[in-house]
Amino acid sequence: MVINYFFNLTRYILSFLILDDYIKFHCHDYNYKKAFKYKTIFIGLNFFFEFIDNLTIFTTDLLSIIIDFIYIFIITKDNYKNKIILFIEYLIFNLLAMFLIYILHSFVTTDFTYAQQNMLYKSYKRITCTFLIYVALTIYINIKSQRYNPKERKTVMGFNLLILFLSLFISVVPLVLKLESEKAQNFLLITFTLLMLIILIMLNLHKKLLEVLHENLQTKVALEANKLKQEYSECLTDNIVHLRKLRHDMNNHLVIIKGYANQNNTDRIIRYINHLTESLKEQNVIATPSEFLSSILNQKYLICKEKQITFHFKQQFQELYCEDFDLITIVGNMLDNAIEAAERCEPGVIDLHIYQQHSYLFIKCENNYAGEIREENGRFLSTKQDPLKEHGYGIENIRHAVKRLNGTVQINYHDHTFCMTIALPNYR
């Protein structure tokens, strides 16, 4: 039957696209030239087996697995051990995904009996389950491959749900049509083809949307980075000017101190030196191995100074392998939350310690706070009157960024002291 051949060919193409996307996502040495060359050949081999008589479904599936195994070996440049591991991981993923989707779909649609009675529907169900795996995997890879502003999550999630809804709708079309007549079968073929093309176009738009959101985020981060670096540069310039003035006036200061010394006026000498020391502190500039981190810390230091919050900073690291976006998200949000809490205290105090331990960078921030901390299901809520502004929103952003970097976040609070410790992989 032509419709069966069409469904089987489509399933083979989708299965190969799943395999190809899985390899590209998990393998850094994907050979694009070889993949393009061999993709059509292996899909053709799979389809060729359909025309061989007396081949059971089990035999056909076994041959497909062997072809997948050969394909992985050809297009990846890794050693044999890693190729075998990649193949086993893909095989487990594909079998588990197909099993779960097939069972869940059968449970929801209650089509157990109909699938056994109608071979065309059974074939159609296999292709729709394969298509659902492809859609879910594509959405997952698109999201993982592109960063976007957390505020856009609702937009992205809505688009994801729309695509998944249409994909699920495809799977139930035969149950509405009933496939006994040739007219219903032809209508199913047309409907399936059109809906599948629409979903594939939507998946492409989904990727483009995330790319645009990623570019917007990069532009925003670049602008923020330039602003912070400019402020840091101005701060350094002011500091240099101040030191030059101090050097120029040093002789005068020494003359005054000498005069007090001749008078044996120790108290006046101490007060005068303290005054000079305070003058130097006012022009203090935080310098770290990372210019961008220095920019962030100096901006937050100036905010603390304006709000009369004591800011202590210690560092013990040589290099920082972290992108600007991650620094703004993690360190920026961490200090924003600390400043927001500490400014309600008298006096407000923030202690920030960044240090390297083995291959991990630890960022530890402690601050005092007034009142009580509201926590629900691990999420910290704002104590502000405005319910739309959640204090914990910044913490959620931190957790999301740290998780993506394979790091950990530890939070504890007691005796009106809030402590957040982040561990991030920090090596080339």
Tens-binned pLDDT, residue by residue, of the chain (428 aa)? 678 778 878 888 898 889 989 988 888 777 777 777 777 787 777 777 766 766 677 787 788 888 888 888 888 877 888 889 999 999 999 999 999 999 998 888 888 888 888 888 888 888 999 999 999 999 999 988 887 777 788 888 999 999 999 999 988 888 887 777 888 888 888 999 999 999 999 999 999 999 898 888 778 777 877 777 777 677 666 666 666 666 667 767 777 888 888 888 888 888 888 877 766 555 567 888 888 888 888 889 889 988 999 999 999 998 888 777 787 789 988 999 999 999 989 889 999 999 999 899 999 999 999 887 777 766 666 555 443 344 455 788 888 889 888 899 999 988 889 999 999 998 87
Q: How far apart are CA 156 and CA 161, in angstroms?
A: 9
Clarify whether residues 416 and 328 are in a common domain: yes
CA dihedral 324, 326, 328, 331 (to 10 degrees): -120
End residue of a domain, out of 169, 191, 221: 221
In sequence order, which residues have a C-beta less than 8 Å from that of residue 371 and are 6 or more positions away? 344, 383
Structure tokens at 296: 């962030």
Residue 55 three-state SS: coil
Clarify whether residues 54 and 167 are in a common domain: yes
Residue 203: inside a domain, yes or no? yes
Domains: count for the chain: 2
Cβ burial of 281 (10 Å; 0-12, 13-18, 19+) is exposed
Q: What H or E segment, with its residue span, contains residue 367?
A: strand 360-368
Q: How far apart are CA 363 and CA 419, in angstroms?
A: 10
pTM: 0.68
Clarify whether residues 317 and 196 are in a common domain: no
Residue 345: inside a domain, yes or no? yes
Clarify whether residues 216 and 296 are in a common domain: no
End residue of a domain, out of 162, 188, 221: 221
Residue 136: inside a domain, yes or no? yes
Longest dimension (CA), the chain: 116
**Which residue range(s) make up the domain with 348?**
288-428
Clarify whether residues 105 and 212 are in a common domain: yes
Q: CATH number of the domain at 425, please.
A: 3.30.565.10
Clarify whether residues 192 and 302 are in a common domain: no
Residue 278: inside a domain, yes or no? no
Clarify whether residues 86 and 198 are in a common domain: yes
Q: How far apart are CA 125 and CA 128, in angstroms?
A: 5
* 336 neighbors 393 (Cβ within 8 angstroms): no
Residue 264: inside a domain, yes or no? no
Q: How far apart are CA 11 and CA 23, in angstroms?
A: 18
Residue 271: inside a domain, yes or no? no
Residue 275: inside a domain, yes or no? no
End residue of a domain, out of 221, 254, 272: 221
Residue 265: inside a domain, yes or no? no
